[in-house]
A = this chain, B = another copy of it.
Amino acid sequence: MLTARLVDNIWATRKAESLSGFKLMLAEIIGGRSDGERLVVVDIISAGIGDRVIISTGSGARRMLGDDSVPVDAVVVGIIDETCQIE
């Protein structure tokens, strides 16, 4: 999994029907050599802009949604505690 900060919402009116209702957010990897790399993630645990989160990728991400038919490859699986120093 990756550690990242949620930096923005992503709005896409025209999209896959199976993505309807999912909140899409832009995440920026923090720490390590990939620092600053960006990816679009689905959030279903009510994370917000500015939160540091753990992101699961690939087929593991779809396990979070409980529906293997959604065309998704990155999902927020946890919000890192504020007291946790990782940078």
Contact = CB atoms under 8 A, between A and B. Distances in A.
Nearest to A55: B40
A60 B71 contact: yes
B15 A45 contact: yes
A11 B71 contact: no
Interface string A1-30: 111000011111111101100001010100
Nearest to A12: B78
Given A1-B74, A73-B60, A32 B41 contact: no
Contacts of A31: 26, 38
Nearest to A44: B16
B54 A24 contact: yes
